[in-house]
Amino acid sequence: MVNQATEVTINQAKLRIIQGDITRQGTDAIVNAANSSLMGGGGVDGAIHRAGGPAILDECKQIVARQGQLPTGKAVITTGGNLKAKYVIHTVGPIWHGGNKGEPELLASAYKESLKLAAENNLNSIAFPSISTGAYGYPVSQASKIAINAVITLLSHSTTSLREAVFVLFDSQTFAAYASALTDIGEERGLPLS
Ligand code: ADP
């Protein structure tokens, strides 16, 4: 029994949780909790565009011109602009409507599609925010379990290039929810925790 774990090992990969600002991460990619327009917004989306500069929005506009708005649960990749991270992976989480409108599947899909895109681009490391639990209103106790389960499942695929995934949680309540989910799910799956 561990008190509250902050790291779990899955084959050759590690999943960690930290409290902090995702715009400052030096992982190969950081994930943006975007909206379907890809035009920027509040919360983590606004913070990423502010820190990364106009090159990110330019690429987002080209993507929308080419393929239209980004559906919920899908992901696209752009430059990281001025960020330390080389890439931003933009995904759209579901808006919470009570839980019976496909929210769990759509949230899991946002994580899975982001991880798939990272692996297709041969990336080694990726950082996620807590998708959908801000303006989109997804209860963090439920969202944290879906997020951790989705990332562990994808990291356990032998073909992935990813060796490190980090959840960067902005506030202490969100961090506590993810710590509890990581501990419970790691124990359930019999994975080494620390
Ligand atoms: P959504 O619309 O998907 O709910 P939000 O950006 O409103 O997205 O919130 C998602 C989470 O991101 C919230 O927990 C919020 O506190 C957090 N957040 C906001 N700014 C940052 C940041 N700079 N780094 C990491 N997380 C952030």
For helices 54-67 and 43-52, the axis angle rounded to 10 degrees is 120
- pLDDT for residue 3: 79
- pLDDT for residue 39: 97
In a domain, 193, yes or no: no
Among 45, 58, 171, 184, the one annotated catalytic: 45
- pLDDT for residue 146: 98
The answer to whether the CB of 29 is under 6 A from ligand 1 is no
- pLDDT for residue 2: 52
In a domain, 60, yes or no: yes
In a domain, 10, yes or no: no
Question: What does the pLDDT profile of the chain (194 residues) look like in tens digits?
Answer: 457 999 999 999 999 999 999 999 999 999 999 999 999 999 999 999 999 999 999 999 999 999 999 999 999 999 999 999 999 999 999 999 999 999 999 999 999 999 999 999 999 999 999 999 999 999 999 999 999 999 999 999 988 999 999 999 999 999 999 999 999 999 999 999 99
Query: What domain range is 87 assigned to?
Result: 16-188
What pTM did the predictor assign? 0.98
Q: Report whether 15 contacts 105 (CB < 8 A).
A: no
CA of 130 to the centre of ligand 1 (A): 6
The answer to whether the CB of 115 is under 6 A from ligand 1 is no
- Residue identifier of the C-alpha nearest atom 21 of ligand 1: 44
Neighbours of 71 (CB within 10 A): 12
58 tagged catalytic: no
- pLDDT for residue 110: 99
* Cα 182 to Cα 6: distance, rounded to the nearest angstrom: 7
- pLDDT for residue 117: 98
The answer to whether the CB of 25 is under 6 A from ligand 1 is no
In a domain, 6, yes or no: no
* Cα 182 to Cα 71: distance, rounded to the nearest angstrom: 28
* Cα 29 to Cα 83: distance, rounded to the nearest angstrom: 10
* CA 75 and chain centroid, separation: 10
In a domain, 165, yes or no: yes
The answer to whether the CB of 143 is under 6 A from ligand 1 is no
* Cα 10 to Cα 156: distance, rounded to the nearest angstrom: 6
In a domain, 133, yes or no: yes
- pLDDT for residue 158: 84
CATH number, domain of 156, equals: 3.40.220.10
**In the chain, how many domains are there?**
1
The residues facing 167 across adjacent strands are 17, 128
Q: Report whether 138 contacts 93 (CB < 8 A).
A: yes
In a domain, 86, yes or no: yes
- Residue identifier of the C-alpha nearest atom 18 of ligand 1: 44
Q: How far is CA 14 from CA 24, 39, 50, 75, 169, in A?
A: 19, 32, 29, 22, 17
In a domain, 179, yes or no: yes
